[in-house]
Amino acid sequence: VENIVYLVGRADTLATSGWLLASIAQLRARRAWQEDTLSVAACSLLLVLQVLLAVLACLCKESGLTLLVFLAGLELVSTRPGSRRLANGALPLAAGALLLFLLLAVVRFSVTQGSGAAFGFVDTPVQYNDDP
């Protein structure tokens, strides 16, 4: 039993690590883009890194899919320094993250054919209780 718990825990740990690293990459790319401290190529590499980490997080655990929605939200709340307007490029990046989320979700559900689980009596005894 301990080995099974260990394996499930590793998937959670890997998905969370990908989630956090992709979030950090996105925040650094956004800050560098606003402050003009990095070149466009360097910012683009950070964004590619964030997409790769999001895909890896998704492959480890289904909750990794939420990363792309989170990153889109970060883009939509990022503003220009000293202004309440959206930061430059925020809308296309948010739309791209949401489109990638939809693409990964469709691929995941087409490969797994949904997520129907065949639980038995041992898993959910209340479901099999005949009492009204």
What global pTM score does this model have? 0.66
The pLDDT > 90 percentage for the chain reads: 0
pLDDT digits (tens, 9 = 90+) for 22-64: 888 888 777 777 776 666 677 677 777 877 888 888 788 778 8
- Two structure tokens written together for 50: 């964030």
At 48 the pLDDT is 79
Contact 87, 80 (CB under 8 A): yes
Contact 104, 65 (CB under 8 A): yes
Question: How large is the average pLDDT for residues 77-86?
Answer: 72
- Helix runs in 61-125, H state only: 66-77, 90-112
Of 17, 9, 104, the C-alpha closest to 57 is 17
The pLDDT > 70 percentage for the chain reads: 72
